[in-house]
Amino acid sequence: MALTDTLETSHGTVVDTLKTARIYEHAASIINYDQETICPPKGMEEQGEVQAYLANQAFRLTKDEKFVAAAEDLYAHRDELDPLDKILAVNLHRSYMKTKNISADRNLEFSRIMNQSFVDWLNAKKKADFSIFRDSLSKVREVNLEDVSLREYDEGTGPKPSTAYDALLSDYEFGVTEKDLDAAFGAYLERMTPLLKEIRTRGKKIRTDFLSIEVTDEQQKKMADYLLDLIGFDKERGAFTTTEHPFTDNIGRNDARVTTHYYPKAFLSSMFSIIHEGGHALFMQLQPEADYDHFIDNMQTMGQHESVSRFYENRIGRSEAFIHQIYPKCCEIFPQVFEGVSEKEFYEAVNVAEPSLIRTEADEFTYTFHIIIRYELEKQIVNGGLAVDDRLPGLWNDMYEKYLGVRPANDREGILQDVHWASGFGYFPTYALGNMYNAMYYNRMKQDLDIDRIISEGCFDVLNGWMKDHVFAKGNRLAPKDWIRDITGRDFTPDDFLDYLEEKYTKLYEL
């Protein structure tokens, strides 16, 4: 579509500015990746300052009057634009309305608070002492609330959220509200709570003794390399290393980096975290090239992203077909573990449902309980009624006892286990939404593919091709509810996921 000279000028201004902003963001991502992987402890604060400065330079560019005027001009004439440029214009307008009342200096201060919060969280976790992190967490809450209070809304942004938490949730999962989550999580609790009780009281005994046999870091690295290759991670466009809390970072078009953590007596942890993070990276590596060209390559919501990572980790990675595929390699790499362990015993062990303390190590069945605990706490923290003080760890522990029947012995295995709150609230529910999204598109995939045969034969190019065409293609282009409807032809529902859990775990535990 030919643009008017005025609109062409506005488009050029926006593109030139975003190209420069992308350079700063790229550099900031490198610094962040370094901070969370190999940066020495005493260098972290300085590293955080550099990262905050670089990120703020990108933010400053978007506050420039010429850029704002050009972006708003594109938004006003969005129906005259190329479809992908229209998506960009709408996203830029939404972002502008969020940040128009936040100065670059204030944004830099926000970044510094978040970076200091990460450093304090890391120190607090090492010492298992929430009090070291308490004041930083309180400041993070204040930053989130100030941010929300300064936002503006119009017909292009959608209605003003009814609560502060809804506003923060929209940053991670646009269009999803507390009402949606309350309904989905309520359905989960209603159906899974009694099933968990059945599993614990009447379920068959599953062998897990071999899972704690000690292995070396070198063995785990070999397994991580193998798994990344198997699922189709492109090592020419990505890399991996270790960190305290595994994550994936989309540094650039051809640079998706994943991380894992090695535990000598818990080899499954690294195996499934590398599959999880590899799933994130596949979303990045297989999204449309045109999305990068039009600056919409980071528009996926976290629920969309977590649906993919948890699809590869759980729906694929914990399936009988996948265990059949990797069992020989596991025996080869971990001979001291798998001597006398059958393929069936391995499959059952990776799917054992056992209430535990650590979210990232939780089994597929009980995982959502961990998310609901965090969701209920952070709603109260953000919306009021729950202060960030020394009572918070006890409340956390009480909720673990209520939902899972286990109680943390210290803050490290309790409230300090996750890094997410160091950068704000609203992220955690997306993990559970991801499970529910991928259950829906797994059922859609079954109509086209013999999934078990494809996995057991290691044909991930076929599986990834379907994901590229159906799941990744519009991840940047549609809001989550529209996206899942586009893939499946149905409105969002938690029922596919709940049906899957009931069928799988009733069979596994012979109930």
Position 4 confidence tier, pLDDT thresholds 50, 70, 90? confident
What domains are there in the chain, each with its CATH number? 5-152 (no CATH), 179-508 (1.10.1370.30)
**Does residue 334 surpass a pLDDT of 80?**
yes
**Does residue 233 surpass a pLDDT of 60?**
yes
Position 263 confidence tier, pLDDT thresholds 50, 70, 90? very high
Identify the pLDDT of residue 5. 85
CA gap 235, 227 in Å, rounded? 12
- Secondary structure of 366-382 in the HEC alphabet? CHHHHHHHHHHHHHHHH
Q: Would you tell me how many other CB atoms lie within 10 Å of the CB of residue 317?
A: 24
What are the residue ranges of helices labelled H in 100-212? Answer: 104-127, 131-149, 164-172, 178-202
What would the two tokens of residue 99 be? 């940040």
What would the two tokens of residue 459 be? 């044909």
Mean predicted confidence (pLDDT) in 451-465 = 97
Q: How buried is residue 391: exposed, middle or buried, by Cβ count under 10 Å (0-12/13-18/19+)?
A: exposed
CA gap 128, 121 in Å, rounded? 10
Q: For 156, phi and psi rounded to 5 degrees? A: -80, -20
Mean predicted confidence (pLDDT) in 252-260 = 96
Q: Say if CB 483 and CB 304 are below 8 A apart.
A: yes
Coil, helix or strand for 29? helix
- For the beta sheet containing 255-260, the strands, ordered from the edge strand earlier in sequence to the opposite edge, are 238-242, 255-260, 248-252
CA gap 80, 34 in Å, rounded? 42
Position 59 confidence tier, pLDDT thresholds 50, 70, 90? very high
CA gap 359, 35 in Å, rounded? 23
Q: For 419, phi and psi rounded to 5 degrees? A: -85, -15
Q: Say if CB 406 and CB 355 are below 8 A apart.
A: yes
CA gap 315, 312 in Å, rounded? 6
For the chain, what percent of residues have pLDDT higher than 90?
Answer: 95
473-488, pLDDT tens digit by residue? 999 999 999 999 999 9
Q: Which residues are identified as catalytic?
A: 277
Q: Say if CB 13 and CB 66 are below 8 A apart.
A: yes
Q: Say if CB 130 and CB 415 are below 8 A apart.
A: yes
Give the H or E element holding residue 452: helix 451-456
**Does residue 158 surpass a pLDDT of 90?**
no
Identify the pLDDT of residue 299. 94
Q: For 255, phi and psi rounded to 5 degrees? A: -150, 80
Q: Tell me the pTM.
A: 0.94
408-453, pLDDT tens digit by residue? 999 999 999 999 999 999 999 999 999 999 999 999 999 999 999 9
Terminal Cα distance for the chain, rounded: 61
Q: Say if CB 341 and CB 210 are below 8 A apart.
A: yes
Identify the pLDDT of residue 1. 57
Identify the pLDDT of residue 504. 98
Mean predicted confidence (pLDDT) in 357-376 = 95
CA atoms within 13 A on the CB side of 48: 22
Position 145 confidence tier, pLDDT thresholds 50, 70, 90? very high
CA gap 437, 496 in Å, rounded? 9
Mean predicted confidence (pLDDT) in 505-511 = 96
8-37, pLDDT tens digit by residue? 999 999 999 999 999 999 999 999 999 999
Q: Say if CB 237 and CB 285 are below 8 A apart.
A: yes
303-331, pLDDT tens digit by residue? 999 999 999 999 999 999 999 999 999 99
Coil, helix or strand for 13? helix
Mean predicted confidence (pLDDT) in 240-266 = 94
Residues forming beta bridges with residue 259, ordered by sequence position: 241
Residues forming beta bridges with residue 241, ordered by sequence position: 259
Q: How far is the CA of 272 from the CAs of 230, 269, 277, 278, in angstroms? A: 13, 6, 9, 10
**Does residue 245 surpass a pLDDT of 90?**
no
81-99, pLDDT tens digit by residue? 999 999 999 999 999 999 9
Identify the pLDDT of residue 3. 78
Coil, helix or strand for 260? strand
CA gap 236, 439 in Å, rounded? 31
Residues contacting residue 332 through CB under 8 Å, at least 6 positions apart: none
**Average per-residue pLDDT for the chain:** 96
